[in-house]
Structure 1
Amino acid sequence: MVVAIAGNTIVVYVVKSSPRMRSVTNYFIVNLSVGDTLASLICVPFSFVSTLLLRYWPFGGFLCRLVSFWQAVSVIVSAYTMVAISVDRYIAIMSPLRPRMTKKCAKWIIVFLWLTALLTALPIFIVSGVTSPDWWYEKCGRYVCHEQWPKKEYNFIYSVVLMTLQYAIPFFVLVYTYVRIAIVVWGKKPPGEAENTRDQRLAKGKRKVRMRVCACVCEKHCPHR
């Protein structure tokens, strides 16, 4: 947790302190860092203590709602920020003559992502709460934090919708955009004697593709929720 907070704080500081670093892509990266930092501060400590140390929830009903809610928010924000980065790169490479995304547009996209994530995760805040699952917990005055849906059908429908929004759609968009980018980048064959600068740009582009694909894989296999 400390490493995550420190690393993300450094990213935010570097981009904010250097005007040259304030690009559209870096704005999205800062948004990823902010989301991860908030998740580390809000979700990780309480989940670690309750799940691994105590095996029950000692923090009360409000924190139960807040932590469960923010876990879903952080996953949605992270997933769609990565989608925004991939789409921006895809447009830049596949349609280089089209106007690039402006910084103002990127900021509005980030605001939209947060609003969408907050609204999508709102049902979790509403239905989450503390309860005693059996007689032992009740006798000891201990509780667990989980979602308490009025009907199982509602839980199933919301779970399918959330899984689709959190994982399925972002995953397929990321795979499609980065596969297409990889095909274009690796398939470029400069005619004749290639210039060193052009070769360096291509090599740099390939490294970026590899790094972002690895980041996508890690994000999908290490969800917050």
Structure 2
Amino acid sequence: MEKSTKLPLLELAFNDSDWDEFLFVVSDYTNTDHWFEPTTETILVTAYSVIILLGILTNVVFITVIVKTKKVLKTRNLLFMNLAVSDLVMCGFCIPFTVVKLTRKSWSLGEALCRLIPMLQAVDVFIFSFTIIAISCDRYSAIVHATENLKRVSSMMPALIVIWISSFGLAVPIAIFSTVVKAEYLGNVVSYQICMEHWPSAMSRALYTLVSTLIQFAVPLAIMIPLHTKICRFLKSRMEYKSQSPVDAERMAKKEARYRSTMKLLTAVVLAFLLSWVPLSVVNIMADFNYMIFTHMNFNALYVTCHMIAMASVFVNPLLYGWFNTNFQRQLRGILFSGSKELSEKDGLLNTSAFKGSSVNKIKSGITN
């Protein structure tokens, strides 16, 4: 639904400074449809293009390695693949159209995309938050309760469906209240269209932004911190166990090191997510509650900078996975330089069969799953 806003000249009372400012606005919109200077816009488009290419490349490589090594049916891999799919959606749909919105003053892509693109961006953030919670719960179940992988996989598939449905459900209000607004000044002297969120009231928009931010950041941290604390306590108590055999002690140490690597990966992913998205979320909350804060600064430049930092998260996750997982690195080299079949069988991403048969089998199976 296209809305129209008209400001007739006779309804305005200007002093000299107001009139000069108004004429500047008229001239600015008449002469150019771009928010930034050509050089600045070229830099922004180039930067966003690099982000998109890196996001597609790293996530496609990550999914390819998981699929080719036949390790899809591992709960952790399923969850990280879920993140990769959502990042690909962000690269393919959200970022390109958002760049148009950020660089052009007038929205010319229609009502449907105006509603769809902001919603998909919110969906991506919700999916990340819920997936990180699922990874933490899966690690807790595998380590502390030694739940078998097959049982966790059977429960993980419905969980993934719930994650996607919940994420879309929470983002629906953005699609409902996003619309193309047509502004007209002095009749048709200045006429342009803006894709924006048109809420019933400023308070309702601010409350939705605040609640969404709590769900995206506070809730995952509130769940993850206690789970990680319990896992660390469990591991500490297990490592204090005095094994009858030096061989068992060595096996336990190797498996504990493997788990700690997993925990470092998860922690790094969460920190990267917070560093990427918190600045943009803070700016959005401040703008919704009191946009006058930004009247004396270049808000467009501030917003684009924060948005670009947030979008960089699309290629950070697979890079972190490769950095912290040496088996993944070997699998990737095997695929790139042939001989991948032998490596795939020998160096599975989450191989749990190498250390079976000890007197503390339950403890070890809990650490490796």
Structure 1 residues 139 and 173: CA distance shift in structure 2, 3 A: farther
Tell me how far 1:65 sits from its aligned partner. Answer: 0.9
Per the alignment, residue 285 of structure 2 pairs with none
Tell me how far 1:120 sits from its aligned partner. Answer: 1.1
Unmatched 5+ stretches in structure 2:
1-51, 278-309, 312-369
Give distance in 1, aligned partners of 2:87 and 2:118.
Answer: 15
Per the alignment, residue 15 of structure 1 pairs with 66
Q: How many corresponding residue pairs? A: 222
Structure 1 residues 94 and 135: CA distance shift in structure 2, 3 A: farther
TM-score, structure 2 as length reference: 0.55
Tell me how far 1:118 sits from its aligned partner. Answer: 0.9
Per the alignment, residue 89 of structure 2 pairs with 38
Per the alignment, residue 59 of structure 1 pairs with 109
Q: Are the counterparts in 1 of residues 111 and 180 from structure 2 also a CA contact under 8 Å? A: yes
Structure 1 residues 135 and 168: CA distance shift in structure 2, 3 A: farther
Q: Are the counterparts in 1 of residues 105 and 192 from structure 2 also a CA contact under 8 Å? A: no
1:220 aligns with 2:270: no
Q: Are the counterparts in 1 of residues 75 and 153 from structure 2 also a CA contact under 8 Å? A: yes
Q: 2:264 aligns with which of 190, 205, 210?
A: 210
Structure 1 residues 15 and 131: CA distance shift in structure 2, 3 A: same
Tell me how far 1:12 sits from its aligned partner. Answer: 2.0
Q: 1:103 aligns with which of 153, 173, 176?
A: 153
Q: Are the counterparts in 2 of residues 16 and 22 from structure 1 also a CA contact under 8 Å? A: no
Per the alignment, residue 197 of structure 2 pairs with 147
Secondary structure of the corresponding residue to residue 192 of structure 2: coil
Give distance in 2, aligned partners of 1:21 and 1:127.
Answer: 38
Secondary structure of the corresponding residue to residue 130 of structure 1: strand
Q: Which structure has the larger Rg?
A: 2
1:27 aligns with 2:27: no
TM-score, structure 1 as length reference: 0.86
1:54-95 Cα shifts (integer Å, max 9, x gaps): 355332322121111001111111110111011010122222
1:119-157 Cα shifts (integer Å, max 9, x gaps): 111111010122257859x85433332211012232233
Deviates more, 1:189-198 or 1:76-85: 189-198
Secondary structure of the corresponding residue to residue 83 of structure 1: helix
| Same amino acid, percent of matched pairs | 22
Q: 1:86 aligns with which of 111, 136, 155?
A: 136
Query: AA paired with 1:84?
Result: A
Unmatched 5+ stretches in structure 1:
none
Give distance in 1, aligned partners of 2:174 and 2:195.
Answer: 12
1:70 aligns with 2:120: yes
Q: Are the counterparts in 2 of residues 39 and 71 from structure 1 also a CA contact under 8 Å? A: yes
Secondary structure of the corresponding residue to residue 66 of structure 1: helix
Q: CA RMSD in A?
A: 2.5
Give distance in 1, aligned partners of 2:221 and 2:56.
Answer: 26
Query: AA paired with 1:113?
Result: I
